[in-house]
Amino acid sequence: MVTNKLKELQAARARISSLEQSIANELQAELAALPAKYGFASAAAFAAAVKAAGKGRKRGAAKAATGGAGGKRRKRAIITDATRASVKKMVEAGKTGAEIAKGLGISLPSVQNIKKALGLVKKR
């Protein structure tokens, strides 16, 4: 019984090894065909074109180019007493948090934090 399972295990390992080799061969063939697929005479010319296309990019540029997170970071806002006073005046004038944030050039969470610190937030 155990010997049959050991034989099955050996056969499975042999199949896995065969599949791995087959995948490696197919991958090698696909990679070798890339330069011709894109109209390059040699792998060296293709590699040079790929390097030239990626040259000058900074870290995170790929994310920014694809619309992902990263890109240009906002400069951190410095909250002063004058900013707090402006937030208080705008709240009393009936402005929304988004309007206040846009008007003062700070983020909405900053406005919410200032309102909370000044006690301008209604309790739930």
Residue 69 lies in a domain: no
Residue 76 lies in a domain: no
The pLDDT tens digits of the residues spanning 35-81 come to: 998 899 888 888 888 888 888 766 655 555 555 555 677 678 888 99
Residue 113 lies in a domain: yes
Task: Please tell me whether residues 51 and 85 are part of one structural domain.
Answer: no
Mean pLDDT, residues 15-24 taken together: 96
Q: Which residues form the domain of 106?
A: 81-117
- Distance of alpha carbon 28 from its chain centroid, rounded? 29
| pLDDT at residue number 68 | 54
What is the domain count for the chain? 2
pTM flag (> 0.85)? no
Residue 88 lies in a domain: yes
